[in-house]
Amino acid sequence: MSVTYQTGPEFAAEMDARDSLAHFRDRFFFPKIEAGEKTGEECIYLCGHSLGLEPKSVETYLQQALRDWANFGVEGHFHAKDAWMPYHRLLTEQTAALVGAKPFEVVVMNSLTVNLHLMMTSFYRPTAKRHKILIERAAFPSDQYAVQSQIRFHGFDPATSLLELQPRDGESCMRDEDILELIEREGDSIALIMLGGVNYVTGQRFDMPAITKAGHGKGCVVGFDLAHAAGNVPLMLHDWNPDFAVWCSYKYLNGGPGCVGGCFVHERHARAVELPRFCGWWGHDEKTRFLMGPDFRAMEGAEGWQLSNPPILALAALRASMEIFFEAGMENLRAKSISLTGYMEFLLGQAPSEKFTITTPREPMRRGAQLSIRFAHEGRKLCNRLAAMGVIGDWREPDTFRVAAVPLYNSYKDVYRFAQILSAAFH
């Protein structure tokens, strides 16, 4: 149902009153303003694209794990309330639903960049004729470092083996047709297409199914970094057919700082024992794992890429968030996200246009919750003033302020207050 946005505070109050997800806000902790006349008031937290808020139920899950450790010691692997041996599987069904996969195509493990290296070890197999990796020029630096190091590891040079997507002159975002045209033109030399699902700088959402189809049509392997997509936009990885994907869980999924990440490997690779991989004992066939034999036998599916036994305390924190997340439902969250982000864009459109531009695509289907605001002058100073007034977003050099109204815990009132404070800060 379309909504005609209005500028007054009454509209925000009415929308919050009608919001069926509004009660989830009370299940999260919000940072408080630490100084000034508003000391103790909740901040306007618009930084879930960088670190999600802490669910209040995290303590309950962590305390249970700590009690089990205290009461059982090593026997907690088998006798804890939720035994530690299969603990990571408590998140499997939720994770599969989150990314649109079959359960054995996903596993919660490691951190994002560790998982990316593990995937590239198996899926980046360069040859003299097909050795390039296609990536965004504005990809998150860790992805750039990872792919460049993999290129060098295989004896190639990033100067000739790294192929970077970039927007047309004078534009901030890439055009879908330009991406597909580049794949068609350069595909015979591309070994791996490795793009983000949502670009971290601009908030642009990429057409993952079209990119995958185009890449496979040219014989390329296709993988995605979903750090800014998982929990932000709907995903259908099994149907879209990429070879692999990786993501973190501390942004939109609220798993906590440095929380364990996730990995998807399409089912067609589930039994591909011939693929080279870095091995660890948790990826070994669990039926014979504790026989401690010298020869590695991979488990089927994504679990076969596991290295070490999972960090139970980190998984406990993630469980708290994921249960809230799936109680709300991704379809409901996406509908609210489109409305909230559209409302923010509408209100920012009332501010002086010469002060900033929004570099995120205008079309709702080409973005998630994030809006990237590029300031014309002294943006860092302005953002410091906003922070002092209780607005928490994310500044990126040289000129961009990233904000996201996360539908699980942000309100229309948050968005309205942010727009009012930003407008006042210009004067």
Domains of the chain as residue ranges with CATH: 9-46+330-425 (3.90.1150.10), 92-325 (3.40.640.10)
Distance CA 41, CA 281 (A): 49
Written as six digits, the tokens of 149 are 């190091």
- Given a cut of 50, the residues of the chain with pLDDT beneath it are none
User: pTM of the predicted model, to two decimals?
Assistant: 0.95
Tens of pLDDT along 34-68? 877 788 889 999 999 999 999 999 999 999 999 99
pLDDT at 264: 98
Number of C-beta neighbours around residue 77 at 10 A: 16
C-alpha separations of 141 from 144, 145, 155, 260, 350 in Å: 5, 6, 21, 19, 34
What pLDDT is recorded for position 1?
54
Please state whether 301 falls in left (phi above 0), alpha (psi between -120 and 50) or beta: left
Instruction: State the pLDDT at residue 120.
Output: 98
Residue 419: what pLDDT?
Answer: 95
